[in-house]
Chains A and B, each alone.
Chain A
């Protein structure tokens, strides 16, 4: 046979396979099945039910998820010892959503989320030390200690925060997508919100505008089924969020399966960038902690429910089992990795504890841009207190 005949034969043989099968030709590729089917709204076909990954990616995903878990548990301890004050909303249980999403995005894509943002910050390349320093209000924190737990940012990696008001990520996310379209960037914007926020009017307004102007915007709903103390069925007439709007397609995803989230995000990104407009992803996930550290999390749900999800759907256990099955790592190697990451997180906390508090001049800085030379007065407006450098 001539080379061209072989070539055309090969093309015909592989033409009907999904595109990533071509990548599966790589020697160390591992195929991961996605057991829970995707539920689709206004879509003929959905994401692939099989994800192709590699040893490196699996190890990275495990490490990243475990790091998030350790960071949130440590944040819990820091809050209880009053090093972290105010509000602290923890993400443990939901790790697969952020890590799965980041596996399909790049740092050129823009991400914005609400107050449960420690893990999203880490997923966007933030360090545990920066996060802890911000939580403890030190000047080395990512917002110089002035933002706190709900206001983590990383503009260099296109992470736009960290917001306290529920639902605010809808319009702001539309703005990020609008900018991407305006500047003709081949990137998506990801606006993340929760099931509680799903009833905010501003989200419907944002969805209408995104649909009207075909903005490259992915709405990601982290549905952990409780809006603080109110279960989703007590707050929403319609308890699904991916099909809320009749003109924007949506996909419902098992949010405890990092690969399901990865495939769905990949599909959504392609959808947006091919000019088809916005799309909604609903990740069915769960948070082990209460809404925040001031909420015990057990007055509106049973401990059995929390335990049940932890035993059957925990995202980290799931990926660990997969890695053991595929001989990526052995049990002892996991113990070593866990110990290493725990040490890393503890070291970051210890380092952040010793970091300096912001100085008094920080109080008046960053109100405006170009504030050099601005004079500010004390509370009685009599004497100049600080002249900004």
Chain B
């Protein structure tokens, strides 16, 4: 972590905007317990490879340090989540899973496959279809210290549990003057899928972001999925972990050794100097696709996967904006009231003096997601639109 601070020190000018522990990101998750912790900044090695990194499509600043090509293991995202969950359940007997068809069925997206056989029916509890009540039950259990992981089969179903999540999970630590903590993880797939219909294509990060007391993170790769799952379980705060329904089969090589990520950190996916692109979840992959075209055309975008939707990692984001002076947010939320809307406000509030133009934002249309394929594609941002926008920004056309 100290190395991270040293690497960034020359770029930071306005020391008022540094967090209290200058040069270090203060993580609430107990990353201290892990063997290996990854920071968000560039490691010495990748700084040396900067010039070749610029030519690459995406250099993961936070890529696992694999010395040989064959270390680590290849895994699909749903399996990485399962690995993280299984490791935490083996490590801490108070971790339990509550949800529909998580036990005997193995989870509708296989995230809890095999866990009921290993840990028993009480620790991996199959519930009836009553989201409001079993989420409430998870919160009640968490109030006494159990670390519950509540799965919504689809994030949209958790709307039925909104009261529980907002009033009971989010606010209790405050209203009790700090006497109770709610170490709950609420997770599930959300986002626009492949023709799942309006009710099953919702982006709940828009709705929950206003609730004080909640933390929200979104995973986008097997590496950060496992790390964030572990961090969320170890956190003493209520954390909502947003998975995406179309990312479960992403494959990546992740380290064999244990690692936990910091919940409040953003991930520098590709360093650059022309424009800062802030994104998360599925849109990260669309941005990377657009970046291929942009790099060919000579642009140098800096891509940051913000990962932490609440609170924003303004430290990483701010340092990037101070470098590029232009920011584009690419999100899957709708235009009105989404993560992009809040992020733009935060950027304007904090980094106004460093911006050359207004913060730009590409979001989904303010429509219920239609079923028809062509209409659904028109609802969300597509890579071609990202390319056009970045070009306009870099040419000063917006």
CB within 8 Å of B: which residues of A?
Answer: 85-87, 134, 137-139, 143, 145-151, 163-167, 196-197, 199-202, 227-230, 234-236, 299-300, 357-358, 360, 362-364, 367, 376, 378-382
Contacts and interface: CB of A to CB of B under 8 A. Distances in A.
Interface of B: 100-101, 104-106, 108, 126-130, 132-133, 156-157, 159-160, 193-200, 335, 360-368, 370-375, 378-381, 385, 389, 398
Task: Please report whether the interface of chain A is mostly helix, strand, loop or mixed according to DSSP.
Answer: loop
Nearest to B335: A381
- Name the residue among A87, A151, A165, A201 with the largest chain B CB count within 10 angstroms: A165
Contacts of B159: 165
A118 to B, nearest CB: 14
B132 A164 contact: no
A85 to B, nearest CB: 4
B129 A227 contact: yes
B389 A380 contact: yes
A379 B160 CA distance: 29
Contacts of A165: 156-157, 159-160, 199
Contacts of A379: 335, 362-365, 380-381, 385
B207 to A, nearest CB: 15
Contacts of B368: 146, 367
Given A201-B132, A201-B133, A363-B379, A150 B199 contact: yes
B197 A151 contact: yes
B398 A362 contact: no
Contact of A145 (B105, B193, B360, B370): B370
B365 A149 contact: no
A210 B278 CA distance: 50
B129 A145 contact: no
B197 A357 contact: no
Task: List 7 A-B pairs, minimum CB-CB distance, nearest first.
Answer: A148-B371, A229-B105, A137-B372, A164-B199, A199-B128, A86-B195, A85-B195
14 contacts: A85-B373, A137-B195, A137-B372, A137-B375, A164-B198, A165-B160, A201-B130, A228-B105, A300-B105, A357-B373, A363-B370, A364-B365, A364-B367, A379-B335
Nearest to A382: B398
B105 A196 contact: no
A376 B335 CA distance: 12
A26 to B, nearest CB: 46
Contacts of A86: 193-197, 200, 371
B86 to A, nearest CB: 20
Contact of A235 (B129, B362, B363): B129
A87 B366 CA distance: 23
Contacts of A378: 385
Contacts of A230: 100-101, 104-105, 126, 128
A165 B132 CA distance: 13
Nearest to A232: B128
B370 A87 contact: no
Contacts of B129: 166-167, 196-197, 199-200, 227, 235
A164 B200 contact: yes
Nearest to A143: B371
Given A299-B106, A363-B367, 17 more contacts: A137-B375, A148-B371, A149-B371, A164-B197, A167-B129, A196-B129, A201-B132, A201-B133, A228-B100, A234-B104, A234-B126, A363-B378, A379-B335, A379-B365, A379-B385, A380-B360, A381-B335
B128 A236 contact: yes
